[in-house]
Chains A and B, each alone.
Chain A
Amino acid sequence: MKIALPVSKNSLDAAVASSFGRTEWFMLYDTKTEKAEFLSNSASSLQGGAGIKASQSLVDGGVDIVISPRFGENARDVLAGAGIKAFKSAEGGALENIKLFLSGSLTPLEDAHPGLHNHGRR
């Protein structure tokens, strides 16, 4: 199983980032090998549609689970379309959140915000 989290930097002690679509990095954690790798988020600088492009990278990367503090409606739709389940991150670093998820302590991420960028604008 592959777990993805938006993270603040590309190292194991990274915190969970506050934004999903515009995070600089994703941590991809494979529960089989117990190894983490980092994916640079090329969507972070897009003018619009960052949540969609970021989600697309995770779908293409074969991710099964996303852990994030929040996400937008468009990201939710792409992830749900690929059968990826999303969970709400808790306080603490990325690795702690993975442990919390594996012990069943995280709750599903249900409230998608209506987007932060370019809604009703240019």
Chain B
Amino acid sequence: MAGGNTKIAVLSGKGGTGKTTIAVNLSAVAGSVYADCDVEAPNGHLFLPPEPETITEEKITVLIPSVNHEKCSACRKCVDFCKFGGLAFAGGRVLVFENLCHSCGGCAIICEEGAISEHKKQIGFARTGKAGTVSFIGGSLNEGEATGVPVIQNIIEKAENKGGLVFFDSPPGSGCAVMEVVKACDYCLIVSEPTVFGLDNLKMIISLSNLLKKPFGVVINKALKSSGIIRDYLKSIGREPLLEIPYDSNAGKICSEGGLLAKEDAFYRSLFESLLEKIKITEGED
């Protein structure tokens, strides 16, 4: 897009490769929006604590069916329609299993008797705040809920309303929650690490970026000179890493204390600044 990328998804299939480290540091050097979409285990706020007086919080709710047993004709169409096992029919009554419901609303539409209405259920929250020069957006999903996608959608909407440069700190994996983030972005910044697991998951995320027609770039984190597993793969598909972040116990120590590498160490500040410039000007290559 003209003027470069503004919505950057920081991704990795494997957990623990350094998505959050890279997303918070890029946000800090850019003074941008940081949106923590890892709602099952949010931790960006440990590095960018939003100041209490600026925090706004919103409950995230989904719609769950309620059955009016007086109106129900026991036709079972709703039970047969539900693909998530959220409904069952036993003892002449429709039973609702709220923790399996994906809130698609199909049961209420398919019911010819008007016996199904929907009520709101809170599944988590989203919040916004200011952390120094960074605009912080995040949220959390309650334990045991079927999907974090509604919370993530709310976070994405808040980030888009804010405008400007946004780093979306994605959940790990390559499932629905991750696709939600990829769909919203202009550019996929993939964080990998030189392990077999890291490589396997890198390939999955590259496939996902290609499937959703998003340009991507790869950062190798925890890189050693001797470990060419990611470098060799990228070479085989005609690509180079945007950046290699060295395996460094001092960096690990700073992160483990909730410190920002870009703030604590001039070497890392320049690394993240150069990465930021590359991302901003990179045009779609695939």
Residues on A lying within 8 angstroms of B by beta carbon are: 43, 46, 48-53, 55-56, 59, 74, 77-83, 118-122
List B contacts of A49 (CB < 8 A): 84-86, 97, 100
Which of B90, B144, B173 is close to A56, meaning CB atoms less than 8 Å apart? Answer: B90
In the complex where A48-B85, A49-B86, A82-B90 touch, is A122 in contact with B177 (Cβ < 8 A)? yes
Q: What is the 8 Å Cβ interface bit string for chain B, positions 247-270, against chain A (1 contact, 0 not)?
A: 000000000000000000000000
Contact B88 A81 (CB under 8 A): yes
CB distance from B276 to the nearest CB of A (A): 31
Instruction: Tell me which of B79, B86, B146 has the highest count of chain A C-beta atoms within 10 A of its own C-beta.
Output: B146
CB distance from B149 to the nearest CB of A (A): 9
For the complex, would chain B's binding face be called helix, strand, loop or mixed by DSSP majority? loop
Contact B90 A81 (CB under 8 A): yes
Contact A118 B146 (CB under 8 A): yes
Contact B88 A48 (CB under 8 A): no
Q: What are 11 A-B residue pairs whose CB atoms fall within 8 Å in the complex?
A: A49-B86, A52-B88, A59-B88, A77-B95, A77-B97, A79-B90, A81-B90, A81-B95, A82-B90, A119-B144, A122-B175
List B contacts of A55 (CB < 8 A): 88, 90
How many contacts A-B (CB < 8 Å)?
62
Chain A CB within 8 A of B145 CB: yes
A116-B264 Cα distance, complex, nearest whole Å: 43
Chain A CB within 8 A of B53 CB: no
A56-B91 Cα distance, complex, nearest whole Å: 11
Contact B90 A78 (CB under 8 A): yes
List B contacts of A53 (CB < 8 A): 85
For the complex, would chain A's binding face be called helix, strand, loop or mixed by DSSP majority? helix
Q: Which 3 A/B pairs are nearest by Cβ-Cβ distance?
A: A49-B85, A81-B90, A82-B90
Contact B88 A78 (CB under 8 A): yes
List B contacts of A50 (CB < 8 A): 85
Contact A46 B85 (CB under 8 A): yes
Chain A CB within 8 A of B40 CB: yes
A78-B79 Cα distance, complex, nearest whole Å: 12
Contact B91 A82 (CB under 8 A): yes
Known A55-B90, A56-B90, A122-B146; 16 more pairs at CB < 8 Å: A48-B84, A49-B97, A51-B85, A52-B97, A55-B88, A56-B88, A74-B85, A78-B88, A80-B90, A81-B88, A81-B90, A82-B90, A120-B143, A121-B40, A122-B148, A122-B175
Contact A56 B89 (CB under 8 A): yes
Q: What is the 8 Å Cβ interface bit string for chain B, positions 85-122, against chain A (1 contact, 0 not)?
A: 11011110101010110000000000000000000000
Contact A74 B100 (CB under 8 A): yes
Chain A CB within 8 A of B212 CB: no
In the complex where A120-B40, A122-B177 touch, is A59 in contact with B90 (Cβ < 8 A)? yes
List B contacts of A82 (CB < 8 A): 90-91
Chain A CB within 8 A of B147 CB: yes
CB distance from B141 to the nearest CB of A (A): 8
Question: Which residue of chain B has the shortest Cβ distance to A52 in the bound complex?
Answer: B85
Contact B176 A56 (CB under 8 A): no
Which of A59, A74, A77 is close to B89, meaning CB atoms less than 8 Å apart? Answer: A59
Contact A81 B93 (CB under 8 A): yes
Contact A119 B88 (CB under 8 A): no
Question: Which residue of chain B has the shortest Cβ distance to A51 in the bound complex?
Answer: B85
List B contacts of A77 (CB < 8 A): 88, 95, 97
